[in-house]
Structure formats: structure tokens, C-alpha cells
Chains A and B, each alone.
Chain A
């Protein structure tokens, strides 16, 4: 029952098996839980924003150019991830993997810049234990960063599986679900960029 192909050939590959449809729907629900998770982290950040005692203010240490580049990297990676899905729909495995690899490279560049930013901030006296403001800053951006890292590891695994098995309803489902995850991280970052960095520069 779970593997029955009861949809027409116009249905995208990832939706053709019962299993695929269930997993994709469940993943949307999981993303709902993730929204709640990040909303709580944002709430903590905004509630503790003024707790800057004994440390630098955000507008003294933020480098906006750096953050804008990070933002553009992640936004572009979301776009290339979309291109990969487009290639998957055209059943072109090679170009799909090409765009997935590009996506990962953008993701890695983003991570590299985020980690260097953290190192720089620590040198300027804004570390995890400095005060409430910086604690909540690191937990929010760090949770996002950990999500990006997990996403990279996950997509690497999936690329390997597609190379071995080709595009089947099951591998296609995995690619599709991981791309949903990747877009979601981009969506969260937009709020980090505006809520933490842009507001941090003016506040």
C-alpha cells in the first residue's frame, strides 16, 4: 500500500508514492514546529536585547557589509536549490547534482563567514557568556548555523544516494524535502538579518 504508484505520470516524481506524499506533508508540519522554535529564540533575543551590560553594543561591532554578503550568499543558494528541483522535474540528474553542489558551496561560504564573524566578535569582547544580549545573539544565530551545517551534511548524503540509485520516487522525495528545509533556513535568515543586524545597527 505504501509504495503504490496510483498517480498519473504528470505528478512530480516525489509525489508519486504514498510514502512520498506522507513524508512531504509531515515535513511541512515539522517546519511548523521549527517556526515555533525560532520564534521562541527571537522572543528571547528581543526580550534580552537591552541586556548589554559589560560588553560592546551591537552597532559598535557589527560589520554590515559582511552580513549583506552572507545574506546574498544564502539567498542565492536558495535560488540554486530551486534550480536543482527544476532540473529534477526535467529528470536531468547531472544538472540537478550540479546545482545542488553549487548550493552547498554557497552554504559553506555562508558558514565560513559566520564562523569568522563569531571569532571576530569574541576578540572584540562579545562572547557567549558576556551578557544576556550576546548570549541570546549566539543562541539565535548559532541555532540557525547548526541547522545550515546539518543541512549541508544531509544534502551531501542525498547527492551520494542519487548518484548510486538515480532518480526514483524515493530519492526524489529526499531531494525535495531537503530543498524545503534549505528554503526554510533562508526564510529564517531574512528575519535574523532584519531583526538582529539591521535593527542592531540603528538601536
Chain B
């Protein structure tokens, strides 16, 4: 056992040893603080076992911000390495590991949980529901994501990180990469994928079955619509990833021949499967982002979203097309011209519904009374920046031209223009917009705008030069270059931009702390003069049952119309009824720990550990099946509701 730890703990890289020490110190600090302030019980009952969608959402967002930090440090290390030619700051192996973890973490452990977190906080409130359809599963979703992410992240201090790129192409990831790194990738993604699939199912059922009375599908807010469509993509795309990961796990651990070079295996099968999931995955992260921008723009332009139905139609078309474009990630595979043509056309076709959306947002802004809040400014920064990402996407979609762009910095710049300008801007916009709903006060606007300017300018300074680097022929995923290549000047500029983004992020995090100490507390649930039901709660932070009385809906932008109509409505006329709420659950947390144990066992081929973990997981399922009858939830009494609601009115 001791030898096992000694062999795998990485102690020869100064950077990683530094990380080791800081992780250890942080952990000790956390444990000390929790013990000193006697917060363990609070942590367990209020957070770990909670089934409240709002708290689960907040946990998702905290985890995502931590991952954004980790992925951001990876990015800065890469930029540091590439700033000057012949740099020896990072070794080639270390560089490979860093671009792999950067990509994987940013997509799967940052973008997805950030958006899932916002969905969790907002969607049930927007629907006028008391919780999601399956609160118990929701807790399991979060913890399996979380322990999957931990399993992936410990690789860099214990055993070595995966080093075959976030796409993990065979044969590099099989024959070309011994050691536990790729196993971490396979198992970490597998475990967190379970959580994502469950969330997809959960939101489909919640949105279809639990909307407030009168909220027809066409009256449903746009963010809920994008969540619904995204959930359908999740349900059909994630099983493809599940199978692909399982097949490669078998190749690596049990000697099968799916993606191997020998025994009739086919390396391109992995590429096809990966992108059959991977391209829909891109839309899984971008569609909710579109939803967030739609909410923010409608609120701060003081208008109903322009072309609501065309927006929905374009969402549906995008989700359908997203499954039909996967080959454009490897036009250079050597498929026939006919195959490339088909996928070229489907790829370019996606630009049509996406273009429609741009006009929806512009149409909403047109003649609106625009308020330039920080959230709105992120949304406004998104439109032109994302268009650059979209247009370069169509350039890449032309198969013949793609032979020039393939795997060089033009591509890198393109997808950062879509994923950062699209997804990250949306995460920040949504975070700031719904911040008062989560924590009861707004974020400071001055600091918020400072962060915005640093981040957006830094972003463009970082990635615009990379288009040119692509034209100059710089391939992606190279750890260094020589002065004769002529790429130095642009790389220096790019690194300066990256530092600007880093500063922007730090200001944002500081703003959380600053606003917590200084910001004025919200006294009503309607911080921004909002249009949708999440702002209709009586308090800034909604009580655990969300709505004392479920609102009735008769229009799009339901809350806006309620505000117009019933200013004179008497409070005394409201009669409360007892509210049924689900009880906390501890099995999902335990089960996720066991997933982690089983996954860790498989990573190092410690079969006894994997089997024990597996038996534990099954035991948890048996426990759930036999004890589900006791999970009856509880009722919030009328007196309690009245007390809560009146104390809120008192404050107001």
C-alpha cells in the first residue's frame, strides 16, 4: 500500500509539488474551520444531503467556479510556455497533460455544471414549481458529477494526468499512453456523465409536467425552453459517450479490440463516436447560454423577446442538426468528397437558425429602453464577439478549406470565440443576473464592469491574434516553436490578453467577497423589475417551498403581466394551504463516494477495490428501492408559511 502511494504521488515536478502542498493546506484549513466553528452538522444537513434545487444549483456553481480557476491556471501555464520560442518552462509531456486537462475541465467540469447550476436555481422558479420532478435524483446528479470531477482532478497529483487531448483520440489514448492518466479521463467522465444524464431526464419531466397552471409551452420563458431542448440533447447524446468511454475502458483494461491498431479494431470509430456525442455536447452548452442572453436582454430592454416562436423553432432545428454534423471535426479523415459535402452542407445549415437568433436579440433591443447593467453588458458583448466565432465556423465548415485550417490556431481561435463569447459570457451574465435570487443582494456594478472590460478586451487581445497564427501555420498542441517560424510577436500579444482575462476573473471573484460585505440587501424578490416568475417570490432569496401560493399564468412574461394587472390586489385575501416538500437524502452522497471508490479501483486496476465499490453501489440501489416508502417528505404548515411570508413583508 505504501509503495503504491510512493510510486504514484508526483514529487519530481516543482509546479505539481507546489499544488500538492497548497491543496493539503487548503484541506487542513477547511477541516479546521469547520471544526472550530462547529459547522459539520450544518454542512451535512443544509448542503450535502439537501434536495432543494436552489442549494444544489449553488453547489454546482461553486464547483464550476473552482474548476474555472483550475482550467484557467492551465490556460495561463500554456500561454506562459508559448510566449517565447524555445521556452523550457514546461516539458513537452507536461504541456500535453495541461492542454488535455484544460479542455476536458473547461467543457465538462466548468461549462456544464455552471449552466446546470443556473438551470437548477432558475428553472423550477420560472415554471412556478416547488422543486424539480425528482429531488432525490437531483442530489445524486450533483454528487456523481462532483466525485467524477474529483477523480479526474486528482490525476495530476497522483499517477499523472491524461495526455491525449480532450478528444482522447485512439490509438494515442490506448497504445500511445501507458499509465493511469487516460483511465482517470475515462472513469472521471463516466461517473460525472451519470449525473448529467439524470439531470437531463429530471428537467424534461419537470418542464413538461410541472408548469404552473396556465403556463402553456408557448408561454414558457426562453431559458426554460432552452433547458428543455438541451435536456433532450443530453438524453440522446450522453449514452453515446457512456458507450464510447466504456469501450475504450475495455480496450485499456481488458484487452478488447475496439479502437486498437491490431485485431481488427478501428481507430476512426472512436473519432466518430466521440464527435457523435461531442458535437451535440457543444449545443448542450451553447443553447442554455442563448436562453440566459434572451432573459437578460428582454429584462434590460424592457420588451418581450422579439420573435419568440421563431426562437423556439430555431432551437429545435439546431438540436436536430447538431446530431448530423459530427464528421466536420475530421474532414481530413480521408472520407469521400461526397461524404464531406454532406457534412459540409449540414454544418453550414446550422448558421441559419443561429442567425435567426441574432436577429431575435437585435429585434428585442430595437426601440427598447436599454439599461446598461453589468449583466446586460455581458449580453451585449456577446453578440458581436459570438458572430466572429460563428462566421469562422462557417469558414471551417467548407471541407476543402478545412484542409488548411485543420488543427491549427485558426481552429483554436474559432472555438474559443464560440465557447468563451457564447458560454462563459453567458455564465457570467446569468450569474450576475440571478445573483440576488441566490444570495439576497446584487453584485457591485462598478467592480462588475471593471471585470467585464478586463475580460472582454483581454479575450479579444488573446484570441484575435490566434486567427492570424493559424494563417501563419502554427499548429495547435505544440509545446514550443523556433524563432524562424515568425510566430513570436503574435504569441506575446496573445499572452498579454490571457493575463487580462485572468485579472478579470480575479476581480469577479473579489466582487463576490466585496458585495457580500458591502452590498445593500434586497428587500423584495424583484431585483431587476423582472418579467418571469422567478422574480415573483415574496423574498429576495425564495423560501424552500418557493411560492406560498402557486401563481397563475395567462401570458408570456407572466410576472410582468401580473405586475401590470394586480397592483390593488389585497394581501389578506390570500389563503394558504399546507405545502408538501421532499425530505433530505443521504444515500446519493454515499453512492457517489462509492462510484469514486470503484472508479479509482478501475483506474489502477485494483480489482478488489472496484468490486467492493460496485457491490456498494448496488447495495445503495437496494436500500433506495426498499426504503423509498419512508421517503414521504413533510408538510410545511399554514402557520409556518404565514409566519415566513409575513416576516418578509415586515422587512419590506
Contact = CB atoms under 8 A, between A and B. Distances in A.
Whether A and B are associated in the same complex: the answer reads yes
Contact of A131 (B236, B244, B263, B632): B263
B266 interface: yes
A154 B625 CA distance: 8
A29 B233 CA distance: 12
A136 B258 CA distance: 7
Contacts of B239: 33-34, 36-37, 40
A132 B266 contact: yes
Nearest to B273: A40
B580 A139 contact: no
B628 interface: yes
Interface residues of B, number: 48
A1 B240 contact: no
Q: Which 3 A-B pairs have the closest CB atoms?
A: A51-B264, A132-B264, A37-B239
Interface stretch (A19-27, A72-80, A180-188): A19-27
Interface stretch (B24-32, B197-205, B383-391, B452-460): B197-205
B629 A170 contact: yes
A153 B633 CA distance: 27
A202 interface: no
Interface in A42-59: 43-44, 47-48, 50-54
Contact of A128 (B209, B256, B628): B256
A128 B254 CA distance: 8
A174 B624 CA distance: 12
Interface of B: 130, 133-134, 197, 200-202, 204-205, 208-210, 235-240, 242-244, 246-247, 250, 254-258, 260, 263-266, 269, 273, 276, 579-580, 582, 618, 622, 625-626, 628-629, 632-633
Contact of A37 (B242, B260, B579): B242
17 contacts: A2-B633, A22-B209, A26-B205, A33-B235, A33-B236, A40-B240, A40-B276, A44-B258, A48-B258, A48-B266, A51-B264, A51-B265, A54-B263, A128-B255, A138-B256, A161-B625, A161-B626
B197 to A, nearest CB: 6
Main secondary structure of the interface of A (DSSP, over half): helix
Contact of A157 (B247, B276, B625): B625
A174 to B, nearest CB: 8
Interface-central residue, A22, A26, A165, by most chain B CB under 10 Å: A26
A128 B249 CA distance: 13
Contacts of B238: 33
Given A139-B250, A161-B626, A26 B263 contact: no
B264 A133 contact: yes
Contacts of A43: 273
Given A2-B633, A170-B629, A32 B266 contact: no
A52 B257 CA distance: 11
A132 B629 contact: no
Contact of A1 (B130, B242, B264): B130
Dominant SS at the B interface? helix
Contacts of B625: 154, 157-158, 161, 174
Contacts of B236: 32-33, 36
Contacts of B246: 139
Contact of B263 (A30, A47, A130, A154): A130
A195 interface: no
Given A33-B236, A47-B269, A128-B254, 18 more contacts: A21-B209, A25-B209, A30-B201, A36-B237, A36-B239, A40-B243, A40-B276, A44-B258, A47-B266, A48-B257, A48-B264, A48-B269, A128-B255, A129-B256, A130-B257, A132-B263, A132-B265, A161-B626
Nearest to B256: A135
Nearest to A130: B263
A3 interface: yes
A29 B254 contact: no
Given A26-B133, A132-B264, A33 B201 contact: yes
A53 B242 CA distance: 27
Given A3-B580, A132-B258, A51 B622 contact: no
Most buried by A among B204, B239, B246: B239
A75 to B, nearest CB: 25
Interface in A76-129: 128-129
B622 to A, nearest CB: 6
A41 interface: yes
A133 B629 CA distance: 46
B305 to A, nearest CB: 27
A2 B204 CA distance: 17
Contact of B247 (A21, A30, A44, A131): A44
A36 B258 contact: no
Contacts of A52: 264
A136 B251 CA distance: 11
Nearest to A49: B264
A160 B627 CA distance: 12
Contacts of B263: 51, 53-54, 129-132, 135
Nearest to A135: B256
B629 A129 contact: no
Given A22-B209, A30-B201, A51 B242 contact: no
A135 B269 contact: no
B204 to A, nearest CB: 5
Given A47-B269, A48-B265, A129-B254, A36 B247 contact: no
Nearest to A4: B580
A47 B618 CA distance: 33
B641 to A, nearest CB: 14
Contacts of B633: 2
Contacts of B582: 2
Nearest to B137: A26
A22 B133 contact: yes
